[in-house]
Amino acid sequence: MIRLSGIRKAYGKTLALDELELEVREGEFFCLLGPSGAGKTTTLKTVAGLEQPDSGTVVLDGEDMRGVEPYDRGVAMCFESYALYPHRSAYDNLASPLRSPRHRLPAGEARQRIGAIAELLGISGLLDRPVGQLSNGQRQRVALGRVLVRPARAFLLDEPLSHLDAKLRQQMRAELKAIGAVQHTTTLYVTHDSVEALALGDRIGVIRQGRIVQTGTREEIWYRPQDTEVARAFGRPRINLLPGVVTQSGVRADGGVELPVRARAAPGTEVLVGLRPRDLALHGGEGHELTGTVYVTEVLGRSVEVTVRLGTGEQRVSLVAPRADAARLRADDPVRLVVRPENLLLFEADRPERPGRRIETQP
Ligand code: ADP
Ligand code: MG
């Protein structure tokens, strides 16, 4: 449905998009995830036709968009810096896209559509208020509503929940995908928040310095991250990355950890062993073992984050355990951690020029 090939876009000396490749399928909710400055907004603007790429092609529905005006591309974009009419009411702002010649709806139908979207976005009570008097979070929801009210080939949403407080963001995140219009319309959704990407994306594209470094389902991104940087981008607390080396019989990691995994790398290769905090079990089970002592514990609601010193103590890992399992732990208590072989990730060591790539392992 949306295909970008070999897109290059420079602003002066800044290369915003560097041979970007991206494909969003019909009806899909695709999340583009990356840090600030990675090129996310430029990507959306290129699809919308608000920026012309220096090279590369944009194809929508099989049609090359070269020379096609933004208005004729049939996509609806919600900007990070939302363009609303401040003196007009929220209702008028929502209604204005439906007054354009292309999307004109009978008044009754328009009112019904606006009512339904306003309800879902929790702004029904604000429709009479001038947008200039609304809070940032309320304005952001009006801006999102403006995009969703009108039928479009595709929605392009640029961090549409970023100005909402944490509670509202969580609530809206849950509701956004349930909105009928969103369910039926191809959506390219930009965010720098990995939790949001995992919650919303049918597929996720990770963008870094103007390039897509990995595209996949949330499972693929989570269980088979392309490199340490993708692995670090997902999951809180962050993945543990223990320095180690490939040996004849497996991997030896700092902190006296011996892992009998077969790695597709030559003995002597410097590696990082990736262990997600939620994949480390405190009380036994099948799998690879790590032993150490409790350094510190921190209660996080129903679970506890435990930091463990491995071996002689210079290396630490953190894990998240149910409160029932971890509540009685005290500093210096000995612990035995177990990770299931399928949850153990292995990467090449990071280099200054690029993050370490994942290495295949066999249990
Ligand atoms: P993101 O949305 O991921 O934060 P952007 O696409 O906005 O990133 O920007 C990508 C890069 O291009 C950044 O380095 C940014 O400073 C630069 N950039 C974006 N728009 C412009 C512009 N209009 N003029 C100059 N530089 C720009
Ligand atoms: Mg941006």
306 with 323: CB under 8 angstroms?
no
Q: Which atom of ligand 1 is nearest to the CA of 210?
A: 10
3-state helix vs strand vs coil in the chain, percent to 5: 30, 35, 35
- Cα–Cα dist 196/199, whole Å: 5
Does the pTM exceed 0.75? yes
| CATH architecture of residue range(s) 239-362 | Beta Barrel (2.40)
Confidence category of residue 81, pLDDT binned at 50, 70, 90 = low
Mean pLDDT of 344-361: 96
CATH superfamily of 2-228: P-loop containing nucleotide triphosphate hydrolases (3.40.50.300)
- Long-range contacts of 305-313, Cβ-Cβ distance < 8 Å, separation of 24 or more: 305/237, 305/277, 306/282, 306/335, 308/335, 308/337, 309/255, 310/242, 310/254, 310/255, 310/256, 310/257, 311/254, 311/255, 311/256, 311/257, 312/255, 312/256
pLDDT in tens, 216-252: 999 999 999 999 999 999 998 999 999 999 999 999 9
Q: Is 231 in the pocket of ligand 1 (CB under 6 A)?
A: no
Pairing label, strands 14-24, 334-339: unpaired
Q: Is 39 in the pocket of ligand 1 (CB under 6 A)?
A: yes
pLDDT of residue 179: 81
Q: In the chain, pLDDT over 90 holds for what percent of residues?
A: 77
pLDDT in tens, 281-340: 997 788 999 999 999 999 988 999 999 999 887 899 999 999 988 888 999 999 999 999
pLDDT of residue 101: 82
Q: Which ligand is nearest to the CA of 35?
A: 1
Ligand 2: distance of its center to the CA of 141 in Å?
17
**Where are the chain's structural domains?**
2-228, 239-362
pLDDT of residue 80: 64
- Cα 180 off chain centre by: 22
Ligand 1: distance of its center to the CA of 23 in Å?
21
Confidence category of residue 7, pLDDT binned at 50, 70, 90 = very high
Q: Which atom of ligand 1 is nearest to the CA of 35?
A: 3
Confidence category of residue 363, pLDDT binned at 50, 70, 90 = low
pLDDT of residue 258: 93
pLDDT above 90 (res 69): yes
pLDDT above 90 (res 172): no
pLDDT of residue 46: 97
- Cα–Cα dist 18/38, whole Å: 10
Burial class of residue 346 (count of CB atoms within 10 Å of its CB; 0-12, 13-18, 19+)? buried
pLDDT above 90 (res 95): yes
pLDDT above 70 (res 207): yes
